[in-house]
Amino acid sequence: MNIKIDKHLKSPKISAALFDLDGTILNQKEVIPEEIVLRIRHISKFVPTSLVSGRIFSSVYDYSKVLGLTSPQISDNGALIFDPNNKEIIFNKSIDSTIAEQVFNLLDSNGFYYFASSMGEQMTNESKNKTNNNVNIITCLYDDVIDYISSNSKIDISKISLVPSSGSSDEKYLSFMPKDIHKGIAIDEYSSFLNIDKSKIFAIGDGLNDIEMLSSVGYSVAMGNSVPELFQICKFSTKSFVENGTIEALDWIIEGLN
């Protein structure tokens, strides 16, 4: 049963707070509103507070700095966990180098836009010196590539994971990921690293790439603008981003910290 968050709902006692970026704490200009920044900074004074995003290392790092976060952060849809204090990589999973080369060849030969990450280093379709080694994620526009993936035998999709997601302006992406790696696996590593009981972790998101994360924590919240699947697996839900649902959820957990 999905419980709607409101001011009458008893606040939980959490041990960590995890936030998706796009559709959850970012507005359509890809900015975190100040009222959300202040609340997340407050939460981070009490419990480990982390971003968990399909965005690459550099983007998640930049947003973690805006929020003043010091706990491990999760980027690349769970393929990387890093320390924002010194950029040290704590957990890393990469795509098979042969598969990464095949994906780059497909995207480059068709002139498709994409961005990728290798051990925290950013690559795009315009990069001159790309590496096929230690590639954590390759993300492109869903509509560009989906027909090629369905019919192209040059990429062995049995050796990778394909993860759909949406941006802050509702643009549709598809990410090529290491096999069986997702946000849920990263949460397992995160909770083990910090010795935190997952049943006491709060997490909030809105997309298909949040399913495994939200399925694995005790206090899972679906944004009002979430894909339908999230309302089936989350224990709680809030209003949409534009209806200040993020702030509603933040105030709910802050009440339990104070």
Last residue of a domain, one of 133, 151, 178: 178
Q: Which residues contact 215 (CB under 8 A, 6 or more apart)?
A: 184, 233
Q: Assign 31 to helix, strand or coil.
A: coil
Is residue 258 over pLDDT 80? no
Could you report the per-residue pLDDT of 41-62, keeping only the tens digit for each? 999 999 999 999 999 999 999 9
193 and 157, same structural domain? Answer: no
Indicate the pLDDT class of residue 166, thresholds 50, 70 and 90. Answer: confident
Mean predicted confidence (pLDDT) in 165-177:
88
* Pairing, β 80-82 against β 89-92: antiparallel
Question: In this model, does residue 246 exceed pLDDT 70?
Answer: yes
Residues 173 and 188 in one domain: no
Residue pair 210/183 in contact by the 8 Å Cβ criterion: yes
Q: Do 138 and 96 form a contact (C-beta atoms < 8 A)?
A: no
Residues 201 and 158 placed together within one structural domain of the fold: no
Domain of residue 189 covers 3-92+184-257
Contact 211, 230 (CB under 8 A): yes
- Whether the CB-CB separation of 219 and 236 falls below 8 Å is answered with yes
pLDDT tens-digit readout, 183-228: 999 999 999 999 999 999 999 999 999 999 999 999 999 999 999 9
pLDDT over 80 at 153, yes or no: no
What pLDDT band is residue 151 in, cutting at 50, 70 and 90?
low
The answer to whether the beta carbons of residues 178 and 161 sit under 8 Å apart is yes
